[in-house]
Amino acid sequence: MIDITRIFQAFLAPAIFVSATALLVLSINVRLMGMVSRLRQFVHAKHDAANSGREVEAGAYDAQIQSIERRAEMIRRCFLMALTSLAGTITSCLLLGLGLYWRDAGVVAVAVFVAAMICLLAATWYYIREVMVALTSVQQEARDQRFMDLGAQPEAKGVDAV
């Protein structure tokens, strides 16, 4: 009976991390989708401005595109590290079960779990970095004089505003 209790405890910790990591992945995905939508809007607006001969406006959009692309790259790395952590945590759960029949699997499970937690820490670090620069695009746009003479925000055809 003691072995079943220990096994249940061993499964519980990684299972909690699976749930927490899955929620983090969901949050990251929503953030990335918002960035991609905004990026598409700016790309269409830049194309529209360039085709209309408004080079100053196109340059302003280009600066915003570059800023969002840098942020999106941080979120992409965050996403990949969180997914790697999720896969490692699930793998460690499976290895713990295999540990009932093969004792060395428990040692491998611990190593995989530690690696998964390091990936989760890296994902959190990328997320923190992106959150710290999240408003820079808006602040740059507010200070950029090239955006002040645009009047109404041009609507990109077929793209929903975020």
Residue 117 banded pLDDT, cuts 50, 70, 90: very high
Residues 6+ apart with CB under 8 A from 131: none
Question: Cβ of 17: how many Cβ atoms within 10 Å?
Answer: 21
3-class secondary structure, 156:
coil
DSSP class of residue 152?
S
Q: Which residue has the higher pLDDT, 3 or 86?
A: 86
CB atoms within 10 A of CB 15: 13
Share of the chain above pLDDT 90, in %: 35
d(CA 76, CA 29): 9
Above 90 in pLDDT, residue 122? yes
Residue pair 137/69 in contact (Cβ under 8 Å)? The answer is: no
Chain-wide mean pLDDT for the chain?
A: 83
**Whether residue 125 has pLDDT greater than 70:** yes
> pLDDT tens digits, residue range 26-59?
999 999 999 999 899 989 988 998 888 888 888 8
Residue boundaries of the structural domains of the chain: 2-147
Q: Using alpha carbons, select from 68, 27, 28 the residue that is nearest to residue 45.
A: 68
Q: What is the mean pLDDT of residues 118-125?
A: 95
- Report how far residue 35's alpha carbon sits from residue 49's, in angstroms, rounded to the nearest whole number: 21
pLDDT for 49: 87
Q: Per-residue pLDDT tens for 52-100?
A: 888 888 888 888 888 889 999 999 999 999 999 999 988 988 888 888 7
DSSP 146: G
Q: How confident is the model at residue 16 (pLDDT cuts 50, 70, 90)?
A: confident
